């Protein structure tokens, strides 16, 4: 074993109370633990049981990919399966050899694992479990797993690859725990904000169901006080309230026409559930755009995905894409503003009633595509006063803004955590083994 370089033994960021402590050590994970593969009793159906005294049987589908802990399974196997499988215990780490590639999970229960899992067990008592968990999740170990398993068409981890992972750790277990506690506190903060985001989305979903009339009804369950005396709503075909319903085409040559700057060219991947997703927006030359002038985007156009898996996603065109163009998978709906508020229409399409209409046009339940005649035939609930449309649109948009702000807060916390992890762990490839 070559002597590790001095640079590799100290992280860029260290808690003050440990700055004078011994430098860090490095060992392969196989020397810090026992690493074993799970086992699968066969045929598995012969070992499944509903008996509460059966053994927990952990399947990959039982696990939330973003979880840290595993605390339950959905199925059990008989005691007889124990000789043909592998039982793991609270405090063991497990990793799938394919799903959530390279991601560890901490066991909180006893369970049997099949051969799609690899277990990290009997971890040395001088290694903190949570520290090891976060170290494995850090950038360099994840990069190592990705490269080590990259042979062939399917990425796959095995026990030998995991055993060979270089683990760098401080000698002081207190320092390990301090690092883990710091990262755990950030995880708790992310989880708290994620719960708030989930609550906001659920609140909006509930409002969407109440602010538009249910099937067979002529007034919504929830109505703003100023409009409660305005009477029943009516239902009109979208085509009667729209000045334009149409989509563009992909320039001849496809991707070869896309530029790094120029006229924005909106594709289906740029349309989210109520918002534009412009991180990967394409651009086309002005000359190409002029040849498609009939599908130039105007501000406040409703952009609707009309093909493929993302059918039904819709968003409002804003100044970032105004003057741009769309391909054949995105439909422009330009409303008669005095009769149909575009944001109101967008929110209705996002509602369960709007999505059900889209589903009703799809054969066999598959969301394959919408044609312009079908879009024009959408039945839109229209309140007597266009100001009520605006009030509904403004109310739902304000919640969308809260959802966006909350999502950005979560992204910022995750970015902060990632930056901390890069600094709290020494760069492994600066240490020679």
Please state, in angstroms and rounded to a whole number, the distance separating the CA atoms of residues 264 and 117. 45
User: Given this model, what pLDDT does residue 146 score?
Assistant: 87
Q: What is the pLDDT of residue 293?
A: 86
- Element counts in the chain: helices (H) and strands (E): 10, 21
Determine the pLDDT at residue 155: 66
Cα dihedral 266, 271, 277, 279 in deg (nearest 10): -40
- Residue 405: strand, helix, or coil: helix
Instruction: State how far the Cα of 265 lies from the Cα of 292, in Å rounded to an integer.
Output: 11
Q: How many CB atoms lie within 10 A of CB 249?
A: 13
Helices (H), 138-227: 139-148, 159-163, 173-211
Q: Which of 308, 311, 322 is nearest to 266 (CA)?
A: 322
SS3 sequence of 176-188: HHHHHHHHHHHHH
* Helices 342-350 and 352-360, packing angle to 10 deg: 70
Q: What are the structural domain ranges in the chain? A: 7-188+416-430, 234-382
Note the pLDDT of residue 148: 83
pLDDT of the residue at 1: 32
- In the structure encoding, which two tokens stand for residue 333, read together? 């709906």
Residue 229, Cβ density class (10 Å: 0-12 exposed, 13-18 middle, ≥19 buried): exposed
Query: Are the C-beta atoms of 70 and 106 separated by less than 8 Å?
Result: yes
pLDDT given at position 274? 95
**Please, is 413 exposed, middle or buried when counting C-beta atoms within 10 Å of its C-beta (0-12, 13-18, 19+)?**
middle
Distance separating alpha carbons of residues 272 and 277, to the nearest angstrom: 6
Residue ranges of the chain with per-residue pLDDT less than 50: 1-6, 430-433
At 268, list the tokens. Answer: 């289906």
Residues 302/342, Cβ–Cβ less than 8 Å: yes
The Cα–Cα gap between 147 and 198 comes to 35
Residues near 428 by Cβ (< 8 Å), separated by ≥ 6? 8, 26, 140, 141, 144, 166, 168
- C-alpha distances (whole Å) from 300 to each of 74, 229, 295, 316, 344 are 47, 30, 14, 6, 11
Q: What pLDDT does residue 202 have?
A: 97
pLDDT at 430: 42
CA 217 to chain centre: 36
Please give the pLDDT value at position 152: 53
How confident is the model at residue 250, as a pLDDT? Answer: 87
Taking Cα atoms as reference points, which of 114, 112, 96 lies closest to residue 104? 96
Q: What DSSP string describes 249-285?
A: -PPTTGGGG-BSSSEEEE-GGGB-BSSB--TT-EEE-
pTM: 0.86
Would you state the pLDDT for residue 6?
A: 45
**Are 15 and 424 contacting, i.e. CB atoms less than 8 angstroms apart?**
no
Q: How confident is the model at residue 429, as a pLDDT?
A: 52
7-188+416-430 and 234-382: identical CATH topology: yes
Supply the pLDDT for residue 5.
43
Give the closest residue to 169 by CA, choosing from 7, 10, 376. 10
Strands 69-70 and 104-107: parallel
Residue 83: Cβ within 10 Å count: 8
Angle between helices 139-148 and 386-424 (to 10 degrees): 90
pLDDT in the model for residue 363: 66
Q: Identify the CATH homologous superfamily for domain 7-188+416-430.
A: DNA methylase specificity domains (3.90.220.20)
Q: Tell me, what's the pLDDT at 2? A: 36
- Do 23 and 168 form a contact (C-beta atoms < 8 A)? no
Element (H, E) at 380: strand 379-382
Q: What is the pLDDT of residue 366?
A: 58
Distance CA 430, CA 216 (A): 68
> Does 3.90.220.20 match the CATH number of domain 234-382?
yes
């Amino acid at each position: 074993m070559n002597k590790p370089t001095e640079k590799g033994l100290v992280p860029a960021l260290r808690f003050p109370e440990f700055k004078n402590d011994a430098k860090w050590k490095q060992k392969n994970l196989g020397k810090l633990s026992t690493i074993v593969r799970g086992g699968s009793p066969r045929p598995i159906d012969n070992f499944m049981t509903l008996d509460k005294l059966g053994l927990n049987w952990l399947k990959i589908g039982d696990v939330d990919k973003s979880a840290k802990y595993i605390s339950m399974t959905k199925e059990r196997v008989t005691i007889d399966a124990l000789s043909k499988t592998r039982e793991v215990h609270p405090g063991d780490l497990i990793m799938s050899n394919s799903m959530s590639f390279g991601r560890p999970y901490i066991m909180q229960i006893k369970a049997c694992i099949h051969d799609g899992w690899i277990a990290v067990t009997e971890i040395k008592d001088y290694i903190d479990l949570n520290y090891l968990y976060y170290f494995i999740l850090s950038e360099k170990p994840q990069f190592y797993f990705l490269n080590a398993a990259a042979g062939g068409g399917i990425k796959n981890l095995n026990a030998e690859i995991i055993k060979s992972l270089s683990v760098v750790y401080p000698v002081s277990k207190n320092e390990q725990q301090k690092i883990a506690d710091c990262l755990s506190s950030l995880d708790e903060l992310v989880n708290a904000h994620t719960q708030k985001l989930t609550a906001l989305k659920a609140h909006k979903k509930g409002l969407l169901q109440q602010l538009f009339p249910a099937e067979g009804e002529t007034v919504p369950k929830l109505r703003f006080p100023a409009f409660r005396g305005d009477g029943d709503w009516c239902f009109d075909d979208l085509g009667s309230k729209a000045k334009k319903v149409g989509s563009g085409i992909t320039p001849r040559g496809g991707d070869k026409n896309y530029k790094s700057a120029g006229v924005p060219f909106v594709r289906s991947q740029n349309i989210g559930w109520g918002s534009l997703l412009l991180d990967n927006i394409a651009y086309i030359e002005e000359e190409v755009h002029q040849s498609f002038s009939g599908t130039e985007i105007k501000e406040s156009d409703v952009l609707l995905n009309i093909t493929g898996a993302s059918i039904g996603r819709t968003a409002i065109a804003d100044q970032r894409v105004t003057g741009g163009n769309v391909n054949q998978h995105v439909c422009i709906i330009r409303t008669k503003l005095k009769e149909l508020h575009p944001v109101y229409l967008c929110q209705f399409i996002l509602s369960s009633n709007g999505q059900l209409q889209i589903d009703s046009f799809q054969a066999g339940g598959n969301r394959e595509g919408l044609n312009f005649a079908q879009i024009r035939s959408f039945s839109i609930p229209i309140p007597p006063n266009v100001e009520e449309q605006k009030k509904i649109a403004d109310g739902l948009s304000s919640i969308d803004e809260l959802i966006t702000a909350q999502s950005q807060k979560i992204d910022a916390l995750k970015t902060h955590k990632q930056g901390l992890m890069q600094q709290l762990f020494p760069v492994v490839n600066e240490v020679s083994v």
